[in-house]
Chain A
């Protein structure tokens, strides 16, 4: 027992200060791909999940990247497209609308004037996170309780959710916790594309959560079907089965990306709840 105490003191505080302070991922981290307008952007076939699409209009080749489908494999940033696509380090990509996750640029002929991304992820992520963080206190009295629902994930997203409870992320410090029963939950974090064998369990679990509730799709599979897509036993994403409030891209999203998404979701929860009395 004494040894345990000594070890605990020697280890000290290991908890991150995120989101109060920004988190900078390592150099090699593969976050949101950055498409360089006007460059020779890759063909859609390069992408293993169909996140890259193209269309031609008025002689311009418009390439779009769907962050919800992206598995951040980095293949589109390899040779020979290394100059056109770079894997950025932005991981705070959670969005409330599916459309907010599509990045479009005009590719190809340098004579065609380049355009900036038409729509992108949330404008100022850190400010958004800080604002949302204070929402926890205001709306839910310091507490957001979530139920985890594995709807056919590969377990990577599940382990990252579990990591949020480790001493480094310790989301309980922000009033967020994962609960055993849907009846005790304010919302649900769903991982996986919703498999046929889980569809009934998914519906019944969500129905057991009292209204109003938030549904957060964690990772590419939940957000869009990801690498699994739609198939004989896969719905191809949570939104095919029930309405989604927040989408968190990633394969898997790193723990801080999930935390960011949960904080984004809290703003939405406020909007849907009747104002508190007193």
Chain B
């Protein structure tokens, strides 16, 4: 279903050919650009007049196929509320002998990390990129070794070579201090290095260095049966287990050409909302720790613990692992558990309302949250920020509505109230989380009411169809995650890529920190509450 107006606009600005195909899904569009030099003009057509945003960038090594090249797919998605569920992919071929593409980063800031990652892992150089430092591979990585190239053997460790100190981006001047923090932090937190430059307490610049937990999981999944690789996808991130497991399954089910049964879709959505709920409730508590409001922290942790115990009763695992499986769900929700679930949710609602009351009544807490760590709406749009962080800056996006999945993909999806707030500060992120947690409780009630009898899963026959692509976007607790999966000729995983919500949101944390003072950074960071592990993979 080529959009003629779009195609004409792209061809008008292109020096090479532009060919259009439907795909990966029937509603999607893939545009092959004959010349990679046409990329910036094509991206401008999608971003400006059509208000699209960068969803993900996927590079592939196809040097061993008849094409004999590397390919990069820049996947865009509409941002207007109510726009059709559609991905538009710009596909360029890259000469393996001279692997270069023009950089989009100055025009599309959200492309920044994607391009640096592509250079580290595939050796594809984004020409004109403003920040040529390595991103994923750290000090001592050998020159010219690209781990996601097919010729690279990912099963063996690579020796560490002598290295110079990493060049942090810092401000310089009289009275300017550098404050290094991490990668090992003082609390029980994931690892990352934050290099602040400050004058007194005021943050001038924050350079965040991540990818310490890069485990090579995408490479690890390659060459495996997609049914085996599922267990890796489910374990990319602890607190996004249900969301990432579901995203992988939906991409895989597209490839297999099957739909999960209606009852399974409802149970999947219940799992997704339970994951959002325990995260949001715990996060509201943790943000209180950033303002030294310990009653709030303890209350949030207590409510979260109750929900995780509920998870263990439903799924056998406190992070809901083992519930969602390819083809459907593995466990049913019998009536006795539904009774326990309803009682737990009612207590959670009462506990959350009480906690929010104590926060809003407490001027010293409100004073810390208000106007702290402000993310402007335009910055959120430029960086393609996802989830709570986007909605608290007035960006009305939610993948449950924009890319229906789970129980939202049926013919009569339940109403979804997408919560937004205009201010973009820590307070806005707290109130959006609380409102979304209440909405999750309402939605779970709605899903339970809709549960009818029926099968829990459909069988996926191996080998799976070869040479197909599946793409899905799931609204996790952190925001939209985009999964891209392709099978090889034998039906095994040829390439899997996850763009997590945190991947797009981390640069926003650095930006918001620059509106704050150094002692408020823990509060700013907790108000975004991002994952390192699903950013680093």
Contact = CB atoms under 8 A, between A and B. Distances in A.
B312 A228 contact: no
A155 B238 contact: yes
A251 B321 CA distance: 9
In terms of DSSP, what is the predominant structure of the interface of chain B? loop
B186 interface: yes
Contacts of B40: none
A26 B313 CA distance: 5
Interface string A208-246: 000000000000000000111111111100000000000
Interface string B2-17: 0000000000000000
Given A227-B231, A230-B157, A231-B220, A30 B316 contact: yes
Given A48-B228, A196-B160, A235-B157, A158 B216 contact: no
A158 B232 contact: no
A163 B311 CA distance: 15
A97 B301 CA distance: 34
Interface in B117-140: 137-138
Q: How large is the interface on A (under 10, 10 to 19, 20 to 34, 35 or more residues)?
A: 35 or more
A8 B301 contact: no
B302 A167 contact: yes
A28 B315 contact: yes
A72 B123 CA distance: 37
Contact of A155 (B152, B190, B302): B190
Contacts of B231: 48-49, 71, 73, 75, 227
Interface residues of B, number: 66
A155 B532 contact: yes
Nearest to A16: B305
A148 to B, nearest CB: 5
Interface stretch (B31-39, B90-98, B206-214, B437-445): B206-214
B429 interface: no
Interface in B133-160: 137-138, 147, 152-158, 160
A27 B331 CA distance: 12
Nearest to A198: B212
Interface in B209-225: 211-217, 219-220
A232 B219 contact: yes
A46 to B, nearest CB: 9
A29 B331 CA distance: 12
Given A48-B232, A73-B321, A150-B213, A158 B184 contact: no
Interface in A140-197: 148-150, 152-163, 165-169, 178, 180-181, 192-193, 195-197
Contact of A234 (B211, B215, B232, B235): B215
A222 B315 CA distance: 24
A205 B235 CA distance: 26
A29 B532 CA distance: 28
Contact of A158 (B157, B183, B190, B304): B190
A128 B533 CA distance: 34
Contacts of A169: 305
Contacts of B212: 152, 195, 197-198, 201
B312 to A, nearest CB: 6
A198 to B, nearest CB: 5
A136 to B, nearest CB: 20
B76 interface: no
A232 B147 contact: yes
Nearest to A226: B235
Contacts of A48: 228, 231-232
A85 to B, nearest CB: 14
Contacts of B301: 163, 165-167
Contacts of A163: 301, 305, 308
Ranked nearest first, the 8 interchain pairs of A and B with the lowest CB-CB distance are: A156-B238, A180-B186, A166-B301, A48-B231, A28-B316, A155-B238, A26-B313, A197-B138
Interface of A: 3-4, 7-8, 11, 14, 25-30, 48-49, 71-75, 78, 87, 148-150, 152-163, 165-169, 178, 180-181, 192-193, 195-199, 201, 205, 226-235, 251-252, 254
Given A26-B316, A154-B534, A233-B216, 10 more contacts: A29-B317, A148-B187, A152-B533, A155-B238, A181-B186, A192-B213, A201-B191, A201-B212, A231-B216, A233-B157
30 contacts: A7-B358, A26-B309, A26-B312, A26-B316, A28-B313, A28-B315, A28-B331, A30-B316, A73-B231, A150-B189, A152-B212, A153-B238, A154-B237, A155-B238, A155-B239, A158-B238, A165-B188, A166-B302, A167-B302, A192-B213, A196-B158, A197-B138, A231-B155, A231-B157, A231-B216, A232-B216, A233-B157, A233-B215, A234-B216, A252-B238
